């Protein structure tokens, strides 16, 4: 999280009183995730040739390992037990005609060692091995058991929800048109970005029931949202929206998943929210 007085720094606020005191740390951080005493902070080191790094954090928010990243930070998540982290970056130079290219890496949070990239896992669809040169994965979210995870896969102009098995290093395609999934704390629901127009970056927030695979739009938020949401609790999601005054400054908003009330600002001048449970 960030506030204007401490722009770009990891900051802390109480989720039950977000308008209260905000405590800034000295840690520069663009994207953050944290759970069970372990976290990841993604950072761009500015310059003529920017450098990108991931700091692995201990329970006191002190970095104890650093990972050099291949591209600009975009997403990170930590499993609920703090054992596994996921890092997604945008990369440049892949030559296969896709509109963008990503790298998603899984990390051992106790050591900072890289477990592997999702492109190295096998992918299956309708019982058959699924392969393509233009695979791009992003938006990892972990189940409570840390072995099961979900992510987005884009290939051939379409985006899919995949379920991953870390032990088997295998992923299975579940459903089309699901981006940036975020699993609820009780593992029953997945909040995600749903593309509303083919070929256009026009997304609405939606919620998917993991058991029935039925979905509904979040009625209280009708704007275009380009973020991987965080669950505040079992009934509300948090996400960043660029402020009207500047595209470089965002506010964190909150919306009930049942659409019972309109979305509202939860934490001004902040982004990349993570709720420490």
Residue 92 confidence (pLDDT): 74
CA atoms within 13 A on the CB side of 218: 31
For 60-84, what is each residue's pLDDT tens digit?
A: 999 999 999 999 999 999 999 999 9
Residue 247 confidence (pLDDT): 61
For 89-114, what is each residue's pLDDT tens digit?
A: 998 765 555 567 999 999 999 999 99
Residue 2 confidence (pLDDT): 47
Domain positions in the chain? 82-267
Q: Which residues sit opposite 202 in a β-bridge?
A: none
Structure tokens given for 202? 């026009």
Structure tokens given for 152? 């987005």
Residue 245 confidence (pLDDT): 63
Res 4 pLDDT > 70: no
Structure tokens given for 21? 């005191």
For 111-155, what is each residue's pLDDT tens digit?
A: 999 999 999 999 999 999 999 999 999 999 999 998 999 999 999
8-state DSSP, 255 = E
CB-CB contact of 30 with 42 (8 Å):
yes
- Superfamily in which the 82-267 domain is placed by CATH: TolB, C-terminal domain (2.120.10.30)
Q: What is the DSSP string of 140-203?
A: EEE-TTSSEEEEEEEETTEEEEEEEETTTTEEEEEEES-EEEEE-TTSSEEEEEEE-STTS--E
When pLDDT is averaged across residues 20-46 and rounded to a whole number, the result is 93
Residue 98 confidence (pLDDT): 57
**Averaged confidence pLDDT in the chain:** 92
Q: How many CB atoms lie within 10 A of CB 185?
A: 14
């Amino acid at each position: 999280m960030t506030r204007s007085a401490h722009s770009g720094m990891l900051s802390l606020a109480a989720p039950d009183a977000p308008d209260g005191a905000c405590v800034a740390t000295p840690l520069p951080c663009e994207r953050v995730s944290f759970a069970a005493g372990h976290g990841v902070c993604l950072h761009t080191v500015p310059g003529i040739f920017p450098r990108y790094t991931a700091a692995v954090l201990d329970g006191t928010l002190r970095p104890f390992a650093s990972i050099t990243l291949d591209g600009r930070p975009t997403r990170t998540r930590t499993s609920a037990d703090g054992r596994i982290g996921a890092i997604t970056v945008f990369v440049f130079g892949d030559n296969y005609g896709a509109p963008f290219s990503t790298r998603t890496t899984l990390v051992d949070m106790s050591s900072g060692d890289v477990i592997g990239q999702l492109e190295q896992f096998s992918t299956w669809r309708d019982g058959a091995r699924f392969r393509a040169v233009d695979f791009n994965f992003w938006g990892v979210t972990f189940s409570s058991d840390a072995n099961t995870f979900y992510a987005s896969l884009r290939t051939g102009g379409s985006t899919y929800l995949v379920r991953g098995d870390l032990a088997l290093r295998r992923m299975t395609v579940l459903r089309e048109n699901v981006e940036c999934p975020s699993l609820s704390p009780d593992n029953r629901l997945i909040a995600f970005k749903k593309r509303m127009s083919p070929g256009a970056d026009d997304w609405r927030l939606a919620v998917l029931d993991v058991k029935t695979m039925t979905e509904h739009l979040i009625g209280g938020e009708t704007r275009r949202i380009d973020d991987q949401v965080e669950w505040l609790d079992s009934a509300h999601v948090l996400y960043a929206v660029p402020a009207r005054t500047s595209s470089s400054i965002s506010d964190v908003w909150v919306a009930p998943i049942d659409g019972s009330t309109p979305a509202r600002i939860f934490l001004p001048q902040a982004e990349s929210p993570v709720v420490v449970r």
